[in-house]
Structure 1
Amino acid sequence: MMRRCLTFVVAAAVQLASLSCLALGVWLCARHFPSVGLLPGVVLLALGALTLPRPPALPREATRLSRAEAPALHDLAGRVSAALGLPRPRVVAVDDRLDAASGFDGVFRRRYLRIGAPLWAVLDGRQRIALLAMELARNGTGDPGRAPVTGWVDRSLGELEALLEPQRDESLRALQDPAIVAASSTRMGSQMTGNQSLVWVAELLLFPVVWVVRGAVGLLRRAYVALQRPAAVRALHAADAAGAGLAGSAAVRDVLAIRALAPSIATVLRRDARAGDHAGADAAALRRGPVGPVVAAWPALVAQIRAAQPSPVDDDPAAYPPSLTRRAALLADAAGDPALDLDTSATDAELEPIYRRVVRDLRTG
């Protein structure tokens, strides 16, 4: 409870500071315009705009599927949500990753579900139910990173810290090159030398300020993440347990293992798509639906990868977020049969255009 209160206090302080910077910046810019207060006013406006917590948005590269375009996928997500006791996602999207995600989109916090088409293609029916349950359950487990007040601050602090990251200015480095300075001075006299000294002085004055500000922002962000960590880890494990209750512990472990091997799987799928050798697409796989011989061969390829390359072991309890293999190791066996056993084959026909695009990108990318 104390951590939750401190998290809320820090989030409220960051939001209040952002609004204060915006208000003070507007006042300095408008007071006796134009005046010497214009420059600090613009700086405060920029700082307030950068640190003002903003809701996350669904990535643009994700393809949104309406209910008319994918009725089976929407119905499947709705039935899994109902089994979890949660509202159905308002937005269902598909992208080209070997991963999946869920969350809240925009200011109005519309629930969304984002599925990677390659990951969906390599999973069987029960594993697909497990994937949906694990992702959708994360919206109802009390994760502070998904709350409207505390969930937006870390994202804003991360963007500000990345903006303050020192970048190597190639043009500035070129101006500081002794050979270029000597050549320029010979042609232009002492003018270039004076300008060069001005650049160096400005850099020497600004660098310590930027370094101190970035250090303060980074320290605040890490302290904020540390406050959120216990609740976030509990929410993650609760989502895994919810998935095990609906689809079985074995299905959840399979999904976690496949996601842990995503880089290796992506390499093999790309090589298979370019080579055109799809011997793994046996008759049973082809009966899954109109996915084509390339996509139909992927489950057999993934099974071979899992047999040849076990998931990496990472049992570090201090790691954050916990590794996929650690999540699988901590998952308790669900008692009884899985609560849901749904047919997911109709979704392959709906995702056929996405599958074709993924195969094309693998061949040409």
Structure 2
Amino acid sequence: MDDRFTVWCAACDWNVDPRRHQEEQEKREKQAERGRQGKRARQGRLEEARRALARRYGEKLHAEVTQDGAELRAWRDGAAMLAYAIALCVHGLTVALLAGGVYCLVWGWGSGLVVLGVVLLAIAVALRPRLSGPPAEGTVLHRADAPELYALIDEVAGVVGTRGVDTITVGKEINASVMSQGVRGRRALTLGLPLWEVLTPQQQVALLGHELGHYGNGDTRHGRVVDTALRSLATWHYYFLPIPRPNATEMVVNVVYAVPLLLVQGTLTLLDHLTLRATQRAEYLADREAARAASTEAAAGLMDQFLVAESVDVFLRRERNNAALTGSRSARRTATASADGTDGLWPRLAAHMASVPEHEYERQRRAGARRGHSVDSTHPPTHLRRACLLAGPPAQAAVLLDDDRLGRITAELTGARAEVARSIVRDGVG
């Protein structure tokens, strides 16, 4: 028995989820703490509500798509159309503020309307729709920097029925994501190296297939109109939050802000409800594209890696702590890393994750089913995503990542691997 992992009983599920009671206690403590902190309290409750909604929608949608003869496809329903209408109203309000500010400046010049115009313009600028920008940190790889990796992405994109990406950012998050940046909608892939390094070659293909699948699967929430409206509402919500421990003047401000806060929070919650079902379906669709590209087995294995992602985080934090304890000698060793720039971090991580026994994966699946584990509040529970993949006939891989090609891609990532490894040892995992 490996003492690194929890001892449990597969027959009766004894001790299958020993952290559940601890997490419930921590949740109660956090709720008590939030009760003493106004802004964080409301933000925390909103995120908890989103997670509960994600689990409920995930379970309903899983039941639908696994019925005999059910077809999983992208679609636009009344909820999606209403979400677009609300999003346009949100943007229309910003335009109205902008137009009102310009009107007051032009026609009220020399009068008190000028001050009102400046205020309206300032509000419109602060609440303007914000497009997605580049990731905060990471190594950006352009096509000339990593032609083999871009070629793999293009091949996977062809299988899932879309085009490739314009930029790749390699970072230290245990995650991967895609977004459309700027007015031109340039496609950007963020690739978390700690996740990429622990995947098998076919699971890496499945990860790319899943992320690229988001570009054409009817994800209303990530459409530009709704996405920017959600960002604007989140900004409004922040500005209207009550001031904690207010003085007399601030109490008046809190009272004035109460009604706008309720309206914004209600609109934000409504958009969550209207778009979350489409977002859940988009995740299932993206999983299907992952299976088409890399095989059902690889896509299901990717789900298992999500379940044990905490082991990656624990390992990397331990590596950082060990480096800190060894002091300047470790710092010199990190600064003059080995030829591949990782100083052994990535091979050690891969070996650690490869040593995770099958019974630990099974325990995590069962624990995840009990807790409704999901990557975040926009994803269905991971165990349901895995079950959906395995419900239908198995798909064979359309893209094969052999050892030679993998070696060339790894060579292209040499500099990024070194930089991310140094960043993890210095600052910790993202």
Same fold (TM over 0.5): yes
Matched, 1:299 2:361: no
Alignment correspondent of 1:25: 101
Using CA pairs below 8 Å that are at least 6 residues apart, which structure has the higher relative contact order?
A: 2
Deviation at 1:336, TM superposition (A): 4.4
Residues 167 and 263 of structure 1: is their aligned pair in 2 closer, same or farther, counting only changes over 3 Å? farther
Matched, 1:342 2:393: no
Matched, 1:228 2:287: no
Alignment correspondent of 1:177: none
Partner Cα distance (1:274, 1:345) in 2: 30
Alignment correspondent of 1:145: 221
Matched, 1:37 2:88: no
Instruction: Indicate which of 244, 251, 255 corresponds to 1:208.
Output: 255
Which deviates more, 39-48 or 103-112?
39-48
Deviations 1:205-236, CA, capped at 9 Å, x for gaps: 21112222122111101101211122221111
Partner Cα distance (2:232, 2:304) in 1: 32
Which deviates more, 329-338 or 317-326?
317-326
Alignment correspondent of 2:312: 265
Which deviates more, 113-122 or 125-134?
113-122
Instruction: Indicate which of 367, 382, 392 corresponds to 1:324.
Output: 382
Partner Cα distance (1:336, 1:17) in 2: 48
Q: Does structure 2 retain, via aligned residues, the 8 Å contact 1:50–1:156?
A: no
Secondary structure, counterpart of 1:88 in structure 2: coil
Instruction: Indicate which of 332, 355, 362 corresponds to 2:424.
Output: 362
Please identify runs of 4+ aligned residues in structure 1 that moved more than 6 A. Answer: none
User: What is the identity, as a one-letter code, of the residue corresponding to 1:143?
Assistant: D
Matched, 1:72 2:148: yes
Secondary structure, counterpart of 2:190 in structure 1: strand
Gaps of 5+ in 1: 174-199, 278-288
Partner Cα distance (2:270, 2:283) in 1: 20
After superposition, where does 1:116-135 map in structure 2 within 5 Å? 116-135=192-211
Instruction: Indicate which of 281, 293, 296 corresponds to 1:249.
Output: 296
Q: Does structure 1 retain, via aligned residues, the 8 Å contact 2:221–2:278?
A: no
Residues 258 and 39 of structure 1: is their aligned pair in 2 closer, same or farther, counting only changes over 3 Å? farther
Partner Cα distance (2:140, 2:94) in 1: 33
Partner Cα distance (2:136, 2:373) in 1: 35
Secondary structure, counterpart of 1:313 in structure 2: helix
Residues 76 and 334 of structure 1: is their aligned pair in 2 closer, same or farther, counting only changes over 3 Å? farther
Structure 1 length-normalised TM: 0.80
After superposition, where does 1:40-119 map in structure 2 within 5 Å? 40-119=116-195
What percent identity do the matched residue pairs reach?
27
Residues 211 and 303 of structure 1: is their aligned pair in 2 closer, same or farther, counting only changes over 3 Å? farther
Please give the root-mean-square deviation of Cα atoms over the aligned residues, in Å. 2.7
Deviation at 1:240, TM superposition (A): 0.3
Secondary structure, counterpart of 1:335 in structure 2: coil
Partner Cα distance (1:3, 1:357) in 2: 44
Secondary structure, counterpart of 2:165 in structure 1: coil
User: What is the identity, as a one-letter code, of the residue corresponding to 2:261?
Assistant: R
Residues 320 and 117 of structure 1: is their aligned pair in 2 closer, same or farther, counting only changes over 3 Å? closer
Q: How many residues align?
A: 325
Partner Cα distance (2:357, 2:305) in 1: 8
Deviation at 1:120, TM superposition (A): 1.2
Deviation at 1:27, TM superposition (A): 1.8
Matched, 1:313 2:368: yes
